[in-house]
Amino acid sequence: MASNPDKPIRGRRNLIILGAGSILIAAITTIASLQIYRATGDIYLDRSRPGYIFEDEKHNEEDDQKESFSNEGEINVEVIDEYLNELDTVIKRIDDSADDFSPEPLSDDSLNISLDEEE
């Protein structure tokens, strides 16, 4: 198939269009994913954000242990005892964090904006 000699090859222009198009698509998808990241609330759980890692956070390996209870097998007293043991382990962890969202850290006293303290 012979090329048309009258039609000039616009390589440079096509290259610019390709480059600009790629950048545009990348920008659109990045903005869309950031919007989803924010809208779903994942941003507030992402501790890989700069400044989010605590020095004392390496001790939480225990929390990563997952409880397990098979959905197969018979039901008897021993099985239920095992279940209750597993359940109690998680309940203890929850109870240890019961005050994690107490009002204290945002109180006037904690923020040093209490007039009583000043007086």
Partner 1 sequence: MRKSFAIVSAVVLAAAAVNPVSAQTISDEQAGLISSNCASIKLQLQNTERYGSKSRQHLGAQYESILTNLIINLNLRLVKNNRANGEIAEQQIKLSSERDYFRNKFTDYSRELESLKNFDCKSEPQAFYDKLVVVRSKRNEISESMARLREIIGQHRESVSKLREELANGQ
Residues forming contacts to partner 1 in the complex (CB under 8 A) are 40-41, 43-47, 51-52, 54, 57, 60, 63-64, 66-77, 80-81, 83-84, 86-88, 90-91, 93-95, 97-98, 100-103, 105-106, 108, 110-113, 115, 118
The encoded tokens of residue 102 equal 């107490």
Which residue reads 């039609």 in tokens? Answer: 7
Least distance in angstroms from the C-beta of 35 to partner 1: 14
Least distance in angstroms from the C-beta of 39 to partner 1: 9
CA 6/CA 77 separation, integer angstroms: 90
| Contact indicator for 89, 67 with CB cutoff of 8 Å | yes
CA 103/CA 101 separation, integer angstroms: 6
Least distance in angstroms from the C-beta of 7 to partner 1: 56
